[in-house]
Amino acid sequence: MSIWRVSPTPEELTARGSASMPGFLGIRFTEVGPDYLRATMPVTPRTHQPFGLLHGGASVTLAETVGSVASMLCVDTERYLCVGQEINANHLRGISSGSVIATARPFHLGGRSHVWHIEIRDEQERLVCVSRLTMAIIERRTEDH
């Protein structure tokens, strides 16, 4: 059974972020599974830190992007907004090229908060980063519509 309230295609999700941070970093959604959301990001000079490795901030951006979009897919967006409340990340492996793949799965899907576990792996499926994201689920005000 799917956890999603709506089921857009990965291409639609990618297009949504194309003019903002996800688009700038080359984040592409690739899969909407029954209880997970997956996206990729290239590891290039655009996502490197000065020493040529994947920047931790780029990993956190990927994790927050995938987890935030996942939360949005679980709620009635006419009534609620999903906003990041807390994120942490453990950077486990340096990587300098190729791409990374992030998979978000829920720990908790409540009425007021969602907590997501995001694993970021390299193309050989080695763990690069693990992250936990807490999203606040808040009611839209009439001026938000």
| 94 within a domain of the structure (yes/no) | yes
Please report the pLDDT score of residue 92 as a whole number. Answer: 98
Please report the pLDDT score of residue 54 as a whole number. Answer: 98
In whole angstroms, what is the distance from residue 91 CA to residue 54 CA? Answer: 10
Does pTM top 0.85 for this prediction?
Answer: yes
Cβ atoms of residues 38 and 30 within 8 Å: yes
Q: Encode pLDDT of 74-85 as tens digits.
A: 999 999 999 999
119 catalytic per annotation:
no
Phi-psi region of 55 (alpha: psi -120 to 50; beta: other; left: phi over 0): beta
31, 64, 119, 125: the catalytic one is 64
| 2 within a domain of the structure (yes/no) | no
| 124 within a domain of the structure (yes/no) | yes
Q: State the residue for tokens 């690069």.
A: 128
| 32 within a domain of the structure (yes/no) | yes
In whole angstroms, what is the distance from residue 145 CA to residue 117 CA? Answer: 30
Q: Give the model's confidence band at 144: pLDDT under 50 very low, under 70 low, under 90 confident, else very high.
A: low
CATH number at residue 53: 3.10.129.10
- Domain total for the chain? 1
Please report the pLDDT score of residue 111 as a whole number. Answer: 95
Structure tokens belonging to residue 93: 């492996």
| 96 within a domain of the structure (yes/no) | yes
| 3 within a domain of the structure (yes/no) | no
β-bridge partners, 105: 117
Q: Which residues contact 125 (CB under 8 A, 6 or more apart)?
A: none
DSSP H helices in 55-121: 56-73
In whole angstroms, what is the distance from residue 17 CA to residue 133 CA? Answer: 19
| 5 within a domain of the structure (yes/no) | no
Domain that holds residue 90: 10-144
| 131 within a domain of the structure (yes/no) | yes
